[in-house]
Amino acid sequence: MVNPPAVRDGTALSVRDLTVSYRAVRALHGVSLQVPRGEIVAVLGANGAGKTTLMRAISGVLRFHGGSVGSGQISCGETTLTKAAPHRIVASGVVQAPEGRRIFGRMSVEENLRVGGFHAPAEVRKRVFDLFPILGERRAQRASLLSGGEQQMLAMGRALMAQPKVLLLDEPTLGLAPKMAEHIANTVTEINRQGTSVLLVEQNAALALRLSNYAYVLDVGEVALEGASAELAASDEVRRRYLGVSEDATPVLAARRGITKWKG
């Protein structure tokens, strides 16, 4: 099993032995991961694997969906976030752009951004418009009139208004045309290049592995596989299960590459 990526300047986000349930149904079983400062970490897995539950637990909104943390710890730097209120988590520097965008359709682009960071200085809004020029051009437009891709830009821009240390992205390319998905992917890279750590949940495994430094694969609520993204992308097991490459591979092949453990 390959060790997690070296943490040169510390860990931006840490999840340790996290267990989550929805009433009597266990959704996450002892999940552990870390996001080193300044890096992109991806979380992959099939539908129902627990990816969105993980993001809800980190961002503090789990209880609004009928879930609860049973055990484990979530922290940002030295700050413990386990079971903290969402506004406390945002204040600590962990901010989510949720799956499905969740923009305020009746409000303008400008108003949506102000919700994300009401007291944010002007340079933060300028950063958002530099990353997404179309939002600057349409700042007075009602958000519901934006295209799907533009709404995704707005959701990400709104999250950036809170000046996150760690940006949580839940399926940012879901439902987008390939050209727009590539544009969003390039922007994620630029956001990271500017110093924001990113935890990326993405159904498009090939895209996620290309963007990230390190990746975790969830399977039925557990971390089944982890390793450097480039090595996972070369794994026969990952290629067969998540990249659509039809090969007669087994978990042993992944183990022989020395990248990780597979619980299968």
pLDDT at 245: 59
Q: How confident is the model at residue 3 (pLDDT cuts 50, 70, 90)?
A: very low
Work out the number of other CB atoms within 10 angstroms of the CB of residue 202: 25
Look over the chain and give the mean of its residue pLDDT values, rounded to a whole number: 87
Looking at per-residue pLDDT, the higher value among 259 and 86 belongs to: 86
Residue 248 reports pLDDT greater than 50: no
pLDDT at 1: 33
- Classify residue 183 as exposed, middle or buried by CB count within 10 Å of its CB (0-12, 13-18, 19+): middle
pLDDT digits (tens, 9 = 90+) for 34-60: 999 999 999 999 888 999 999 999 999
pLDDT digits (tens, 9 = 90+) for 195-231: 999 999 988 899 999 999 999 999 999 999 999 999 9
pTM of the model: 0.86
* Alpha-carbon span 159 to 157, nearest angstrom: 5
pLDDT digits (tens, 9 = 90+) for 236-247: 888 887 776 554
Q: Which residues contact 143 (CB under 8 A, 6 or more apart)?
A: 103, 104, 105, 106, 107, 108, 109, 112, 151, 154
Looking at per-residue pLDDT, the higher value among 261 and 92 belongs to: 92
Residue 193 reports pLDDT greater than 60: yes
Residue 141 reports pLDDT greater than 60: yes
pLDDT at 258: 44
